[in-house]
């Protein structure tokens, strides 16, 4: 499924860059990153995923160090989120942090569950602290989209661990009560502007509302079969912003139409369902939580990216897995698939032995 998604994304990327007569550098890089990602996927599939659990502490320490050091890099589009290597390679540590956080959180929750203390306030506080430190560093960049993804996948993993519903209810009420305070006194002005535009895109059509308006125009103009590759008005005339990264789904909607857009939706739904199926049948708590975290990560990315392109979610700069251009994102998602395959391989081996 992820291979089909990659091919669709590659075609869309090729068209968005103007084809043979356009800039094909991104297409070449996209292929290269995917090739490296496949190697990492095969490696992670071949090893026992339990090894990753044993390495979670050094991985977590390296992640925090990278998230701290990246704050001192030169800002790109207003964010200090990338380490630049040479003139054309950028590495985004917050992308890889999602996998590392999933591994560590799965290991911590497994350990806590073995002690039968998943509802102990002290242990829950330690879990919260484990999640909060990297999220605060990522927000500092600022990268609110990635922070939201980590928060979402962590919440799903904790909920699936068997936490008391009273804690869940208390958390929901606390968040609901805190939202107005966060909006008024904590969020910076550019974040407030994104929320305001999400609620009313026409409030500032030439500035903060421009991206979402152009995206919805692109998706809507594609109708059933699309306007054809290299023929999308918003895409080819330069009206659609970030057309190879954040808004690649808009390119697909405009040039390939509703049919291809729904094909992508179906493929993602199947991939996510498969992830949770692997989690359900995994050998041991750690494997189950690991697969749950990966499935939740894919789900959060899918909902946020597709949702923001059609005006159902605020714009946060979240890529669409396997489709959006981006080396760090591609490597992270290929690694995630490799871990899923490792969990599934061990489950099948266990079933065969039984």
- What are the tens digits of pLDDT across the range 267-284? 999 999 999 999 999 988
Rounded CA-CA distance 274/116 in Å is 29
pLDDT digits (tens, 9 = 90+) for 205-233: 777 788 899 999 999 999 999 999 999 99
More confident residue, 311 or 44: 44
Closest CA to 343 of 51, 32, 34, 128: 51
pLDDT digits (tens, 9 = 90+) for 79-136: 899 998 877 788 999 999 999 999 999 999 999 988 878 888 888 999 999 999 999 9
pLDDT for the residue numbered 354 = 42
Question: Quick one: which of 242, 263, 217 has its CA closest to 305?
Answer: 242
The pLDDT tens digits for 281-301 are 998 899 999 999 999 999 999
**What token pair was written down for 186?**
């904590």
Q: N- to C-terminal Cα distance for the chain?
A: 29
Mapping DSSP to helix (H, G, I), strand (E, B) and coil, where does residue 186 land?
coil
List C-alpha distances in Å: 179 to 136, 140, 166, 174, 278. Answer: 17, 19, 20, 9, 35
pLDDT at 21: 65
Which residues constitute the domain of residue 69?
2-353
Is residue 30 within 8 Å of 245, Cβ to Cβ?
Answer: no
Read off the pTM: 0.93
Residue 353 has pLDDT above 70, yes or no: no
Flag the least confident range among 14-23, 166-175, 241-250.
14-23
Confidence of residue 23 (pLDDT cuts 50, 70, 90): confident
Count how many domains the chain has.
1
């Amino acid at each position: 499924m992820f291979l089909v998604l990659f091919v669709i994304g590659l075609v869309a990327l090729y068209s968005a860059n103007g084809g043979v007569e356009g800039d094909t550098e991104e297409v070449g890089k996209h292929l290269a990153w995917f090739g490296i990602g496949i190697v990492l996927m095969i490696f992670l599939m071949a090893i026992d995923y339990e090894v990753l659990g044993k390495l979670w502490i050094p991985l977590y320490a390296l992640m925090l160090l990278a998230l701290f050091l990246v704050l001192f890099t030169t800002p790109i589009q207003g964010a200090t989120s990338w380490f630049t290597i040479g003139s054309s390679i950028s590495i985004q540590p917050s992308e890889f942090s999602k996998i590392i956080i999933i591994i560590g959180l799965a290991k911590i929750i497994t350990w806590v569950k073995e002690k039968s203390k998943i509802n102990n306030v002290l242990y829950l506080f330690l879990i919260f602290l484990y999640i909060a430190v990297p999220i605060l560093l990522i927000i500092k960049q600022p990268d609110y989209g990635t922070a939201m993804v980590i928060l979402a996948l962590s919440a799903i993993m904790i909920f699936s661990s068997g936490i008391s519903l009273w804690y869940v209810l208390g958390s929901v009420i606390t968040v609901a009560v805190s939202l107005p305070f966060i909006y008024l006194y904590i969020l910076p002005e550019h974040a407030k502007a994104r929320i305001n535009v999400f609620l009313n895109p026409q409030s500032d059509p030439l500035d903060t509302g421009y991206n979402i308006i152009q995206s919805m125009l692109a998706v809507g103009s594609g109708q059933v079969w699309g306007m054809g590759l290299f023929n999308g008005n918003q895409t080819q005339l330069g009206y659609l912003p970030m057309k190879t990264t954040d808004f690649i789904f808009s390119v697909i909607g405009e040039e390939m139409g509703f049919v291809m857009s729904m094909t992508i939706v179906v493929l993602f739904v199947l991939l996510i369902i498969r992830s949770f199926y692997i989690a359900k049948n995994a050998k041991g708590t750690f494997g189950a939580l690991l697969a749950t975290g990966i499935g939740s990560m894919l789900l959060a990315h899918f909902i946020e990216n597709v949702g923001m392109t059609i005006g159902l979610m605020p714009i946060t700069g979240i890529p669409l897995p396997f489709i959006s251009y981006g080396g760090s994102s591609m490597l992270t998602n290929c690694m995630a698939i490799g871990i899923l395959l490792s969990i599934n391989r061990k489950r099948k081996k266990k079933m065969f032995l039984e």
